[in-house]
Structure 1
Amino acid sequence: MTFTQHQHQLAGDAPGHSTTIYWYTAGPEAAETKIYLQAALHADEQPGTMALHHLLPMLRDADAANSLKARFVVFPSVNPLGLATRLLRRHIGRYDLETGVNFNRRWPDLYPLIAEAVAGKFTDDATANLRTIRQAVGTWIDQQQPATAAQHLRLLILKAAHDADIMLDLHCDDESLKHIFTSPNLMPGLQDLADRMQVAATLTAEDSGGGSFDEVLPNLYRKAQRANSNFPIPMGAETATLEYRGQADTHDDLGREDAQGLFDFLAGRGLIDARPAPASPAPGPTPFEATEVLRADRPGLLAYRVALGDKVNKGDVVADIIAMDGPEAFLARTPLRAGTDGFILSRASAKYVVPGSSVAKIVGSDILPTRAGGYLLED
């Protein structure tokens, strides 16, 4: 039995301050496949932590029965720094309060950092080339000299995840249906994950513009392939961000359901010796550029006319914004209209908005000119 809890103490940025991060490993250390799971990188997003809370005993029992065929690394709450960012009874776990940086943005673009180290080392052996890249990344990580607690945490996470074959980053939205973000060249390979999650949408983008954690490894291998096209370099990791509904959907029953979906996905891949029940097909991938992020154009109070999952056509009213100042304060309502045909994937739980506030995501099928090549995230 190899199921083990680990912990690491991160020195804080002020005298006398430190925090501890906990994670688990299970399965054969010499297994050919490594699975990396983490939740709550945005520390105020807890449904993923609930799912991993329920998954861990399943992995522990499978490990005791020698049923794990891969090495598992699981961080149920990967951001203890974000857990501590509370202000006036509110948890603000999405941003580093010192720098203002979103915890899931500005992760490193790894290939330029290792390009010199791997130059001239590739051969006709794809497996050896993958090993060369992973070793170079590991060496780069070990050479870094982080100064702050946040930098230490990022390097710890990168070191744990950089050589994973499957890396899943568990998040949630504000008020939302389940969905996935992943790279287009990883589909339809990850359709089995979408089916097990029973997502409403799988949104794909090669580069969403923010340096999200789930894009680090695909970008590494993609850039290595393009820079060394004469050599076989595999896409060495399947990665995805899993959005488990909304922030308020942190419940035992949902967590058990989500854990079972993850377990069955892994069993279906032959990474756990178990027989999962058949999965119902979920929708196939959609370019993230075809999803409209509908934003408020004025301040006021939101009054939605649509529910999650509702279909809308371009021009339909998604919500009214009730005026809160001016000659018709608390009387006037201004409609906010859909800019594309599609369905409502997410809404805002906070109904007071200012200009630029995200109101809804509308998943369509046609790439929107305003989204092509731009910054795709809500932030």
Structure 2
Amino acid sequence: MTFRQHHLDLAGDAPGQTTTLYWYTVGPDDAPTKVHLQAALHADEQPGTMALHHLLPMLRDADAAGKLNARFVIYPSVNPLGLATRVQRRHIGRYDLETGVNFNRRWPDLYPQIAQAIAGKLTSDTGANLALIREAVGAWLDEQRPVTAAQRLRLHILKSAYDADIVLDLHCDDESLKHIFTSPDLMPGLQDLADRMQVAATLTAEDSGGGSFDEVLPNLYRKAQRAHPGFPIPMGAETATLEYRGQADTHDAVGAEDAQGLFDFFAGRGIIAASPAPAQPAPGPTPFEATEVLRADRPGLLAYRVELGDRVKKGDVVADIIAMDGPDAFLARTPLRAGTDGIILSRASAKFVAINASVAKIVGSEILPARAGGYLLED
């Protein structure tokens, strides 16, 4: 058996502080495929942790039966620093309280760091070019000297993921249907993952603007391809952010279903020797630029007129905002209208909203001019 638990003690930024990161490896050390799975990078998003809790024993048992054809590296809760950021009984696991930086933003742009190292060394051999790029990234990562605990954690995660063939980052939304974020270069290749998850949408973008973790490796290979058009350079990693519904949807039975979906995805790829049942087709990819992030144009109390999954047309009322000040305080209701045709993918669970707060995501099919080339994330 190769199922092993590992841990890393991260020295904190104040005297006497230490945080322990746990992860597991399973599968043959010499397997041709490496899979990196992580959950709760936003540490207050737990549905992915529940799914990996159920997936771990499934992989352990498959390994004991000699059925794994890949090396799995699994971080059920990849951000122990964020687990500790509680303020007055509220978990602030999305942001580093020291810097204010979102834990899933500002991941490095790797290609400029390794461009010189690979210059003049690429060949007509696709596999050799992939190995060269990975070697250069590994060497650059080894040269880094992180200072803070957060920097050391990020470096450790990158060292685990940079040479993986499949990298899945498990998250959730606020109140939401299941969906995926991935690169357009990786579709329709990852449609089998969308089918196994039974997502409501797969949203694609080359660069959503925030330096998200799932964009690090696709951006590396894409930039290498564009800088060296005469050489065969593959998209060396299939990466995606998997959004498992909403924060409140951390349920044992649901996590078991999500784990089975992941297991069946890997089995369908042949990296687990098992025969999964056929999957029902999920919707195909949609440019993230076609998704409206509907924002409140005034503060107040939300009264939704739509449910998750409802289809709306441009101009339909998604919610009323009940006034909480002024001469008509707690009487007036101002409609907030959809700016596109599409389905309601997510809503805000907190019903008091500040001005410009995200209220809903509406997945349409037409790229919205205000979204094209802009910052696509809610943050």
Superposition TM-score, scaled by structure 2 size:
1.00
- For residues 342-357 of structure 1, the aligned pairs below 5 Å read 342-357=342-357
1:97 equivalent to 2:106? Answer no
- Structure 2 counterpart of 1:226, which letter? R
Could you give the per-residue CA deviations for residues 224-263 of structure 1, whole angstroms, max 9, x where no partner exists? Answer: 0111111111110000000000000000011000000000
Equivalent residue letter for 2:97: L
1:235 corresponds in structure 2 to 235
Moved runs in structure 1, 4+ residues, more than 2 A? none
Which residue of structure 2 lines up, in the alignment, with residue 270 of structure 1?
A: 270
1:309-353 deviation digits (Å, cap 9, x = unpaired): 001000000000000000000000000000000010000000000
The match for 2:78 is 78
The match for 2:222 is 222
Residue in 1 aligned with 2:142? 142
Quick check: 1:259 aligned with 2:277? no
Distance 1:2 1:368 in 2: 49
Deviation at 1:119, TM superposition (A): 1.0
Residues 63-122 of structure 1, C-alpha deviations (whole Å, 9 max, x = no match): 111100000000000000000000000000000000000000000000001111111111
The 5-angstrom pairing of residues 24-43 of structure 1 reads 24-43=24-43
User: Is residue 2:164 matched to residue 1:164?
Assistant: yes
Alignment-mate amino acid for residue 72 of structure 1: F
Residue correspondence of structure 1 range 46-85 to structure 2 within 5 A: 46-85=46-85
Give the equivalent residue in structure 1 for 2:287.
Answer: 287
Superposed CA deviations along residues 268-322 of structure 1, whole A, max 9, x for unmatched, are 0000000101000000000000000000010000000000000100000000000
Cα distance in 2 for residues equivalent to 1:30 and 1:228:
30
Q: Which residue of 1 aligns with 2:328?
A: 328
Partner residue in 1 for 2:337: 337
Residue in 2 aligned with 1:250? 250
Question: 2:377 corresponds to which letter in structure 1?
Answer: L
Number of the residue aligned with 1:15: 15
Displacement of 1:206 after TM fit?
A: 0.6
Q: Distance in 2 between matches of 1:324 and 1:234?
A: 55
Look up the match of 2:128: 128
Percent of aligned pairs with the same amino acid = 83
Between the aligned partners of 1:29 and 1:135, the Cα distance in structure 2 is 18
Match of 1:197 in 2: 197
Match of 1:376 in 2: 376
Q: Distance in 2 between matches of 1:226 and 1:314?
A: 38
Q: How many angstroms apart in 1 are the aligned matches of 2:55 and 2:304?
A: 36
| Amino acid in structure 2 at the alignment position of 1:94 | R
Q: Distance in 2 between matches of 1:373 and 1:171?
A: 24
The residue type paired with residue 109 of structure 2 is D
| Separation (CA, whole Å) in 2 of partners of 1:245 and 1:24 | 25
Q: TM-score, normalised by structure 1?
A: 1.00
Give 2:77's aligned amino acid.
S
Taking the aligned partners of 2:295 and 2:345, their CA distance within structure 1 comes to 14
SS at match of 2:325: coil
User: Which residue is 1:317 aligned to?
Assistant: 317
* Separation (CA, whole Å) in 1 of partners of 2:227 and 2:233: 10
Which stretches in structure 1 are left out of the alignment for 5+ residues? none
Separation in 2, partners of 1:327, 1:184? 50
Corresponding letter in the other structure for 1:262: L
What is the alpha-carbon distance in structure 1 between the residues aligned to residue 66 and residue 153 of structure 2?
Answer: 32
Alignment-mate amino acid for residue 228 of structure 2: N
Deviation at residue 141 of structure 1 after TM alignment: 0.6
Instruction: Tell me the distance in 2 between the aligned counterparts of 1:184 and 1:119.
Output: 26
Report the CA distance between 1:59 and its aligned residue.
0.3
The one-letter code matched in structure 2 to 1:124 is: S
Letter of the 1:6 counterpart: H
Separation in 2 of the partners of 1:25 and 1:198?
A: 27
Q: Could you tell me how far 1:185 is from its partner in structure 2?
A: 1.1
- For 2:149 and 2:121, the matched residues in 1 are separated by 35
Question: Which amino acid in the other structure matches residue 229 of structure 2?
Answer: S
Code of the aligned partner of 2:279: A
Deviation at 1:174, TM superposition (A): 0.1
Gaps of 5+ in 2: none
Counterparts of 1:221 and 1:359, CA distance in 2:
35
